[in-house]
Amino acid sequence: MSDDADVIDDVFAVIEDRKENLPEGSYTTSLFTHEKGENAVLEKLGEETTELILAAKDDDREELAHESADIVYHLLVLLSMKEMDVDDLREELAERR
């Protein structure tokens, strides 16, 4: 990956590539091909959110960073599933700023 500032774009590009090419053995591929489809990603977002809350409650910085990354990753997968991208997220955040 290039610069840290580009990491979200880089991760999203990998997600898009996995969605298009569906390489075997990829966790991301499994989310796009899972029989529950979107529900599997939504369940993961719920699970990771609970883990994030518990890490925050316990003041566990390392786990908080880990769970935050899991949430961002699954959010990016969901955006891809909905034919959205990181620019859609940026635009929404910019409007709120």
* Domains of the chain: residue spans and CATH: 4-90 (1.10.287.1080)
Place 1 in a pLDDT band, splitting at 50, 70 and 90.
Answer: very low
Q: Helices 61-81 and 38-57 sit at what angle, rounded to 10 degrees?
A: 160
Does residue 23 have a pLDDT over 50? yes
The torsion angles phi and psi of 42, rounded to 5 degrees, stand at -65, -40
67-81 pLDDT, tens digit per residue, is 999 999 999 999 999
Q: Report how far apart, in Å, the C-alpha atoms of 70 and of each of 16, 21, 42, 65, 67 are.
A: 17, 22, 12, 9, 5
Distance from the Cα of residue 18 to its chain's centroid = 13
| More confident: 2 or 10 | 10
Over residues 31-60, the mean pLDDT reads: 94
